[in-house]
Amino acid sequence: MKFNTVSGCSGRTQTTYHAEKQYADRFESDIPLISAWKRGVRVEAPDKHYDEARLYPPADLLMTAKGGDITTVMFASQTRILAPGKVRCDGCDYLHEPIRTAETCPWCGSTADVGRSAGAIKLTVKGGN
């Protein structure tokens, strides 16, 4: 078991054993959980209790943290998520932060028509509630 930490605008965040285990058991991802968190897009999950939630679209991964600990991981497609201010890439259909002309989508590298903010995006989920 390892507890990795990152520094960011929200301070130090670390993973918990529970979250690491859930991540290892349920998600097929080739990057450490803490890296997914670091790269993740900050979103809101109205049905969950947390201090900060981040979405890592390539793995359909939603992570929530409390008190600097990533406590829970879950499938984003099964969770109600709000992503105010985020944009959806035309190339890969993943959410990301609005980007400038010279930048590319962080997930697929696409430069085509990215960065158009559509305002608040509401994800339609299957099997919610």
Residues making contact with Zn ion (CB under 5 A)? 89, 91-92, 105, 107-108, 110
Neighbours of 74 (CB within 10 A): 19
Run of H or E residues at 61: strand 61-66
In terms of CB distance, is 23 or 107 closer to Zn ion?
Answer: 107
Instruction: Determine the distance from the C-alpha atom of residue 76 to the mean position of all C-alpha atoms in its chain, rounded to a whole number.
Output: 8
User: CB of 5: closest distance to Zn ion in angstroms?
Assistant: 28
User: CB of 114: closest distance to Zn ion in angstroms?
Assistant: 7
Neighbours of 127 (CB within 10 A): 8
In terms of CB distance, is 15 or 57 closer to Zn ion?
Answer: 57
User: CB of 103: closest distance to Zn ion in angstroms?
Assistant: 11
